[in-house]
Amino acid sequence: MLIVTIPCTQSCLSLAWSPRTKSGTVGECQRIAAGYSDGTVRIFSVSNTEMEMKTHPHPCAVTSVAFSVSGEVLLTGGKDGLLAVSSPRTGMTIRVLSDHKGSPITTIQSTSKK
């Protein structure tokens, strides 16, 4: 059993595990993304529990977080209804979708296209 403790100094409202590496083993590539009440998203390494990156894709609380199936994209939803599409490698926000503006996004799920 794997138990990981990640220090938090803000209210963490959502968590998402990155997909496993292609070999199927837990390694340095596996990460956790956490959404916080201050609008930030922090990405932690599972292997050493250190924060790898901190981004600020939302002006308000991040209420949902999900990695794409490939792990190449990070989706985050805000209390204000905005959905940010970001790169978990660079932290850069690629696009912001406002279709649900005003309604909090509480759940995000990514599926593979078949």
Which of 106 and 101 is assigned the larger pLDDT? Answer: 106
pLDDT score, position 7: 66
Residue 96 has pLDDT above 90, yes or no: yes
| Alpha helices (H) in the chain, listed in sequence order | none
Burial of 57 (0-12, 13-18, 19+ CB in 10 A): buried
36-85 tens-digit pLDDT: 999 999 999 888 778 999 999 999 999 999 999 989 999 999 999 999 99
* 89, two tokens: 């490698």
Beta bridge partners of 76: 65, 84
Looking at residue 28, what is its pLDDT? 44
Closest CA to 79 of 54, 109, 100, 103: 103
Domains of the chain (ranges; CATH) run 12-20+29-97 (2.40.10.480)
The average confidence (pLDDT) of the chain is: 86
- Rounded to whole angstroms, the maximal C-alpha distance in the chain is 41
DSSP state, residue 6 = -
Looking at residues 31-35, what average pLDDT do you find? 94
pLDDT band at 114 (very low <50, low <70, confident <90, very high): low
